[in-house]
Structure 1
Amino acid sequence: MSAQLPPNGTELEANGISLDLQIPERAVRGHVEIDGYKLATISIEPVGEHVGTALLIPGYTSSADTFNGLLQPLSERGYKVVTFSQRGQCLSEGPDDTAGYELPRLGQDIHEVIQKLGLGTHVHLLGHSFGGVVSIEAVLQDHSPFASLTMWNSGPRNMGRDLLEQRAGLIEHGPRAYFVGNQLATGNDPEADLKGELNVIEQYYYDRLMSTNPAQLEAGINILIDQVDRTLELSRTGIPVLVSHGANDDAWPIEMQRVMAEQLGADYWVIANAGHSAHADRTHASAQLLATFWDEH
């Protein structure tokens, strides 16, 4: 009989175990100071021989903890894995002015994290969602530190008019507008936070959102609204690329991601029974897919 796989991240959440509590015992929390701000890091060393190093970049309203489920299985494949909350995200410091979150600055943060943590010149870079937009920027600034790029549930250009409505709500009502919008969209009580009726997992995501710097949220959504297709520029770097998403990804249109992969000549893998956070829905499958791609490069 085959060994039973550990539960996926979404299964752990169903049992009341939030992302921050899914961190492996061997993983280490720390921070790196960039541009005068402390950015929270999580890292794990490989089990056995060091095969390679990966740097994982979280999405728009996310944090370093989003990848906790991937750390142990990737380390067991021989990878040192590092992730960090981008400036202004939950756990990290950041400026209170949107000018401090321009895309070139976010891309430079990736390079400075690599340098300050001594990650070397063959780093496998992964960007989830908005993290993919920032990762492309980093690669186009200088692709020499990177062995590969993974666009993880992330697309090449702006997602459409829906973001304009979200930005208007953010500017008028602040970060809580995102919570209220999600509650209404899912048929839940938009005042559950005020009534103290959030369960453990809901409270985690609420706290993560509300501890994110509002300037980061405004600057980030502006970047997403203004996102332009840089696929041709990326192809000219010659860096190996993997484009992968959950079969039920509901952020960038799936067809848009598939076409991007074709234009890049990239590997293109779709993860069945997974949504926008494929690493949570199919944690073990995602880790094995990523390690297999990295092994080849």
Structure 2
Amino acid sequence: MAPNIQRELTSVCAHLTTKKIIAEIVRVKQPFSLLVDESRDVAVKEQMAIVFRYVDKIGCVIERFIGVVHVKNTSVKSLKIAIDHFFVKHGLSLTSLRGQGYDGVSNMRVLDNIQEGLNNRFDEVNMRLFQCMSSLDPSNSFVAFNKDRLLEFAKFYPADFPQHDIWLLDDQLENYYEDVSTNANFTHLEGIADLAKKMVEFKKDVAYNKVFLLIKLALVLPVATATVERVFSAMNLVKNSLRNRMGDDWMNNCLVVYIEKGSFCYK
């Protein structure tokens, strides 16, 4: 019952949970992105929540909360430094993560837009990115399919699609469209997330590996922050007006164990 023992136990549990999540991301070596946003807690301190978004081995989109970090100000530079320090604390860095599938240039665009309004956030480049991505939509027998736009989409990710892979993708897209648009197993799909799961289920992720990589890159695009908003809702429960002097580490540890209870409860 001693408070210091409770804090120590929670700290160990949070550390193991975060370590397990990061190890899982690094192990799968798949594209992923960071969902990052900031909000003030009840003590009027700026807190930044960090969430991983990736596609697992069966084609499902997964979002995992790994921590909340206090930041002194919300400038882009401060947020980037805080993220780097967070990963160094867990034995990683943004540089090493880029080697494991993290595209620092494209994914950091989210950080650059945190303080901007809706009109500025979706600038011309981002809107074009979304337009190209929409060509993957499988609805209505893949009526939105457009090979040229998908090739343009791939060129937003030069680290994943060097010129040789663009040529391979070009060839695969032709066969992919002829295959899935006439395949009964791919009818009545409601979105790209459904498409990814069907691709894995029927081994199309292997046959059209470059197309599947494009689908995964589309799925990890951080276009929504619902999970981050849920983190802030939980933060207001953990650190409320009666516990407004709760330290940052204590709050982070409680949040990790509470939000990622599924990862915490493992043998």
TM-score (norm 1): 0.28
Find the structure with the greater CA-based Rg. 2
As a proportion of its length, which structure holds more strand? 1
